[in-house]
């Protein structure tokens, strides 16, 4: 397992980190994001999408669960905050997202941890202060 820890000191720095991470992504990459409200999961996702050459403005998909983008690869941005039962994501056809050829980024990944592939990247975000986030990246 590979593990890396970084402290970012602004939303811009978190986006830059996402852009940099995206450079190493290949089709099928699954990125599970963990961290409380406002810790920067969407901000990091915006950076990843930018690094994947997504031109659309990336917003939180809380109400629709999944947003799809076209970049260098197809990108699925999933937010499970409002997920109440696992069946909701199963009925949406999770296999295509979690085991397909696109890049899949999941906020509140703990809510569907049982469905996620073992081979995934996990990113933990911790709020240190108003503008500081500790970001831990684990690759299995």
Ligand X SMILES: Nc1ncnc2c1ncn2[C@@H]1O[C@H](COP(=O)(O)OP(=O)(O)OP(=O)(O)O)[C@@H](O)[C@H]1O
Which residues from 14-33 bind ligand X, rule CB under 6 A?
Answer: 14
With b for 16 or more beta-carbon neighbours within 10 A and e for fewer, the 30-50 pattern comes to bbbbbbeeebbbbbbbbbbbb
Report CA dihedral (25, 69, 97, 137) to the nearest 10 degrees.
40
* Binding residue (CB under 6 A) for ligand X from 22, 32, 39, 104: 39
Tokens linked to 104: 């899949």
CA distance 37 to 29: 24
* Binding residue (CB under 5 A) for Mg ion from 19, 60, 86, 134: 60
Radius of gyration of the chain (CA): 14
Residue 67 engages ligand X in binding (rule: CB under 6 A) = no
Instruction: Please name the residue that has the structure tokens 């911790």.
Output: 126
Using the rule CB under 5 A, give the single segment among 19-27, 41-49, 69-77, 94-102 that binds Mg ion.
Answer: 41-49
* Binding residue (CB under 6 A) for ligand X from 37, 57, 85, 87: 37
Give residue number: closest CB to ligand X: 40
Query: Which residue, 50 or 60, is less far from ligand X as judged by CB?
Result: 60
Which residues from 120-139 bind ligand X, rule CB under 6 A?
Answer: 131-133
Residue 42 engages ligand X in binding (rule: CB under 6 A) = yes
Which residues from 81-120 bind ligand X, rule CB under 6 A?
Answer: 81, 107
Phi, psi of 97 (to 5 degrees): -80, -45
Instruction: Please name the residue that has the structure tokens 């997202």.
Output: 97
* Binding residue (CB under 5 A) for Mg ion from 8, 14, 39, 42: 42
How many residues belong to the site for Mg ion (CB under 5 A)?
Answer: 4
């Amino acid at each position: 397992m590979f593990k890396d820890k970084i402290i970012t000191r602004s939303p811009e720095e978190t986006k830059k980190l996402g852009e940099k991470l995206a450079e190493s992504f290949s089709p099928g990459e699954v990125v599970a994001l963990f961290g409380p409200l406002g810790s920067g999961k969407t901000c990091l996702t915006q950076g990843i999408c930018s690094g994947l050459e997504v031109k659309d403005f990336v917003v939180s998909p809380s109400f629709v669960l999944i947003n799809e983008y076209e970049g260098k690869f197809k990108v699925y941005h999933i937010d499970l905050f409002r997920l109440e039962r696992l069946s909701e994501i199963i009925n949406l056809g999770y296999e295509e997202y979690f085991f397909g050829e696109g890049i899949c980024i999941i906020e509140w990944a703990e809510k569907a941890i049982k469905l996620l592939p073992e081979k995934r990247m996990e990113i933990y975000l911790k709020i240190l202060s108003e503008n500081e986030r500790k970001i831990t990246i684990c690759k299995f």
